[in-house]
Amino acid sequence: MRRPLIAAGLLIFAYGLLGAILDTDVNLVGVVVFGAALLVLHDGVFLPLVGAAGALLRRFVPSGWQPAVRIVAVTAVAVTVVALPLVLGFGRDAGNPTVLPRAYGKGLILILIVTTVTVPAGRKGLERLRRRKRR
C-alpha cells in the first residue's frame, strides 16, 4: 500500500510543480516559502502529534479496535484542521463577506459524527465479510 501512495503523492506533486512553472502569474518564491512552511509544520508538528496519539491509542484502546479508532481520529483531526478556520470566520472580511454564507459549523459537527459512526460500522462489516470468505 505504501508504494501506490508514494506514487500518487509524486504524481500530484509533479502536477502542481508543472502548473506553477508553466503559469506566468505564479510567484515562485512565494510557492517555495509556502512549501517549506508546510513541510516544517507537517514534519515538525503534525507527525509528532500523530505519533503521540498513536502511542496513547495503543495504551488505552483494545487491540481489535485500534485500526478503526486510528482512522476516525486522523480523519476527524484532518477535517477539523481544514474546516475550523472557516467555521470560525477567518478569511471573512469586508471585501468577501460570503466566505461562509451558511452555518458550516453544523456541517462540520455532522461530518465528525458520521465519520465516528460509519468507520466502526464499516470495520465490523469488513470483519464479517472476511469471516464468510474464510469458510
Residue spans per domain, the chain? 27-60, 62-135
- What is the average pLDDT value for the chain, to the nearest integer? 80
CA pair distance 19, 68, nearest whole angstrom: 37
Residues 6+ apart with CB under 8 A from 86: 99, 100, 104
Residue 103 falls in which region: left (phi positive, over 0), alpha (psi -120 to 50) or beta = beta
Question: Higher pLDDT residue, 100 or 13?
Answer: 13
3-state secondary structure of 126: helix
Contact yes or no for 89/100 (Cβ under 8 A): yes
> Which tens digits make up the pLDDT trace of 37-64?
989 988 998 888 888 888 888 999 888 7
CA pair distance 34, 20, nearest whole angstrom: 13
User: What size, in residues, is the chain?
Assistant: 135
Query: Rounded to two decimals, what is the model's pTM?
Result: 0.55
**pLDDT of res. 12:** 93
